[in-house]
Amino acid sequence: MKPNLEKRSLYSFTVEELRDYFKENGLSKFVADQIYDWVYKKSVFEPENWSNISNKVKTFLNENLLLTLPKIVWDGHSVDGTRKFLVAMSDGKTVETVAIPAKNDRLTLCVSSQVGCAIGCTFCHTGTMGLTRHLDSSEIVGQFLTVTRFLKEKVGESERLTNIVYMGQGEPLHNFEHVKKATQIFMEDKGLMLGQRKITLSTSGLVPQIEKLNDFPPVNVAISLHAAHNNIRSELMPINKAFDLERLLKAIRTINLKAHRWITYEYILIANYNDRPEDIEALGELLDKKDSKINLIPFNEYPDSNFKRPSDERIKWFQDQLMKRGLITTVRTTKGADILAACGQLKSEMEDKLNLWD
Ligand code: SAH
Ligand code: SF4
């Protein structure tokens, strides 16, 4: 059955909105809580299996709301446990979603917020695609739910998603309202009940939206810094020409750290480019030691990219130098290299293949 794009998706409602929706339509508002329980707590997505929901409500839902989830059209499993998914929305547009295991049974889902991205960072494969469209909140929540269903059906109880990072395709703050709504849904007590510390929002530095973060659930904030000099940052990230480092840091100081705790700075390390002693000096001067954490990301090489990943020794040296200056610094381990888990890579590879098969 072809989904009706005119219908609103069930997965775009917060509990409160769903209660109101039922009330407005002459149905009991408590049904909202029961449906939330089936979908988000029990991971049962087929209305025919919702045993305490009346046929009247089921008919109403089928007629008025879209109940289908985004479809997994490809999945890959890396030797390190990372699972990568290509997920198709109801209009056939695809995004990638990656489930990354970590210690203490953590399983983090890296979700996309847009199809493509308008920011155009030169090191990022997604950036070369341009923006096709925003995802709506149900399509962001849908990535989580469709992967949950996949794990439940294909893997079993051993793997359950525990964390979310907005580090897939797209710039989440460019799609502020939908990402905010999706985050509220992820955090619902009646639903997934993900705590604010389990969710991380990563942004390339959209200053006006950073200044609006006090109107966003108080999740972890990561800023894609990647350079501590304006000329290098502008080469890597065109957004720096609109909002340079001074404006970015000023905006970051408006974030309420009582709620958001600290700021993580992501820094992609590129060989012979931003891995020099002067970069360490500049980072030391730029960042507040008390409220900052640096996450070094060794550049993930892909075909056609001119940048190279530094050696492991160089990465370790860069980390040690920052630590010596009092900056808490971690190195992100490369995950899923064998299944092209870097930002944007799978999608283009797969689309090339899919086109060949057409
Ligand atoms: N648009 C937001 C959200 C995440 S972008 C942002 O830029 O912050 C996806 C993530 O992948 C970012 O952390 C980005 O720094 C990283 N990334 C993109 N291309 C990469 C590459 N070639 N190697 C390593 N990390 C990359
Ligand atoms: Fe967009 Fe982030 Fe990629 Fe930059 S790094 S192009 S902001 S997805």
Give the C-alpha separation, 339 to 69, whole Å.
24
Residue 2: inside a domain: no
**Based on the domain organization, do 105 and 54 belong to the same domain?**
no
Q: Positive or negative, the Cα torsion across 117, 120, 121, 127?
A: positive
Query: What spacing in Å lies between the alpha carbon of 193 and ligand 1's midpoint?
Result: 27
Residue 309: inside a domain: yes
Q: Whose CA is nearest to atom 16 of ligand 1?
A: 343
Please check whether residue 107 is in contact with residue 159, taking contact to mean a CB–CB distance below 8 angstroms: yes
Which of ligand 1's atoms lies nearest the C-alpha of 237? 7
**268: three-class secondary structure by DSSP:** strand
pLDDT average per 10 residues of sequence, the chain (358 residues): 72 98 96 98 96 97 97 93 94 94 92 96 87 98 98 92 95 98 98 96 97 95 97 98 98 87 94 98 96 94 88 98 97 71 50 37
The half-sphere exposure of 318 on its side-chain side, counting CA atoms within 13 A, is 29
CA dist 205 to 129, 172, 201, 329, 336, Å? Answer: 19, 10, 11, 20, 27
Q: Which ligand is nearest to the CA of 300?
A: 1
The pLDDT, as a whole number, for residue 336 is: 67
**Based on the domain organization, do 290 and 256 belong to the same domain?**
yes
Give the C-alpha separation, 263 to 255, whole Å.
9
Give the end of a domain, one of 18, 49, 66.
Answer: 66
Give the C-alpha separation, 87 to 134, whole Å.
15
Q: Within its chain, how far is the Cα of 36 from the centroid?
A: 22
Helices (H) and strands (E) in the chain, counts: 13, 14
Give the C-alpha separation, 48 to 40, whole Å.
16
Residue 3: inside a domain: no
The pLDDT, as a whole number, for residue 234 is: 98
**Based on the domain organization, do 48 and 84 belong to the same domain?**
no
**Based on the domain organization, do 231 and 294 belong to the same domain?**
yes
Q: Positive or negative, the Cα torsion across 147, 150, 152, 157?
A: negative
**Based on the domain organization, do 93 and 59 belong to the same domain?**
no
Residue 124: inside a domain: yes
The pLDDT, as a whole number, for residue 102 is: 87
Ligand 1 site, CB within 6 A? 123-124, 166-167, 171, 202-204, 224, 266, 268, 297, 299-300, 342-343
Q: What is the CATH number of the domain that holds 172?
A: 3.20.20.70
Which residues are paired to 136 by β-bridges?
none
Give the end of a domain, one of 45, 66, 87.
Answer: 66
The pLDDT, as a whole number, for residue 357 is: 31
CA dist 152 to 113, 157, 219, 303, 307, Å? Answer: 24, 6, 27, 35, 39
Query: What spacing in Å lies between the alpha carbon of 121 and ligand 2's midpoint?
Result: 6
The pLDDT, as a whole number, for residue 208 is: 98
> Domain residues for 323?
71-353
Q: Which ligand is nearest to the CA of 225?
A: 1
Q: Domain tally for the chain?
A: 2
Q: What is the CATH number of the domain that holds 30?
A: 1.10.150.530
> Could you tell which of 221, 224, 331, 335 is best to mutate to test the pocket of ligand 1, judged by most ligand atoms within 8 Å of the CB?
224
**Based on the domain organization, do 287 and 273 belong to the same domain?**
yes
Give the C-alpha separation, 13 to 19, whole Å.
9
The pLDDT, as a whole number, for residue 89 is: 97
Give the C-alpha separation, 250 to 223, whole Å.
13
Query: What spacing in Å lies between the alpha carbon of 123 and ligand 2's midpoint?
Result: 9
**Based on the domain organization, do 171 and 312 belong to the same domain?**
yes
Query: What spacing in Å lies between the alpha carbon of 66 and ligand 2's midpoint?
Result: 30
CA dist 309 to 274, 298, 315, Å? Answer: 11, 6, 9
CA max distance for the chain: 68
**Based on the domain organization, do 252 and 222 belong to the same domain?**
yes
In one letter, which amino acid is 149?
R
**Based on the domain organization, do 76 and 114 belong to the same domain?**
yes
Which of ligand 2's atoms lies nearest the C-alpha of 125? 3
Residue 288: inside a domain: yes
**Based on the domain organization, do 175 and 161 belong to the same domain?**
yes
Residue 271: inside a domain: yes
For 44-60, b where at least 16 C-beta lie within 10 A, e where not — what string? bbebeebeebeeebeeb
Residue 280: inside a domain: yes
Q: Active-site residues: which are they?
A: 96, 343
Ligand 2 site, CB within 6 A? 117, 119-121, 124, 126-127, 169-171, 204, 224, 343
Q: Which residues contact 318 (CB under 8 A, 6 or more apart)?
A: 269, 275, 279, 280, 296, 310
**163: three-class secondary structure by DSSP:** strand
**Based on the domain organization, do 17 and 157 belong to the same domain?**
no
Give the C-alpha separation, 162 to 106, whole Å.
6
**What pTM was computed for the model?**
0.93
Residue 358: inside a domain: no
Tell me how long the chain is: 358
The pLDDT, as a whole number, for residue 339 is: 60
The pLDDT, as a whole number, for residue 126 is: 82
The pLDDT, as a whole number, for residue 272 is: 97
> Could you tell which of 123, 219, 221, 263 is best to mutate to test the pocket of ligand 1, judged by most ligand atoms within 8 Å of the CB?
123
**Based on the domain organization, do 193 and 342 belong to the same domain?**
yes
Q: Specify burial of residue 104 (Cβ count, 10 A radius: 0-12, 13-18, 19+).
A: exposed
Query: What spacing in Å lies between the alpha carbon of 354 and ligand 1's midpoint?
Result: 25
H helices of the chain, where?
15-24, 30-36, 55-64, 137-150, 176-187, 207-210, 230-236, 239-242, 245-252, 257-260, 277-286, 312-324, 345-357
Give the end of a domain, one of 66, 94, 110.
Answer: 66
- Nearest Cα residue to 166 out of 219, 88, 119: 219
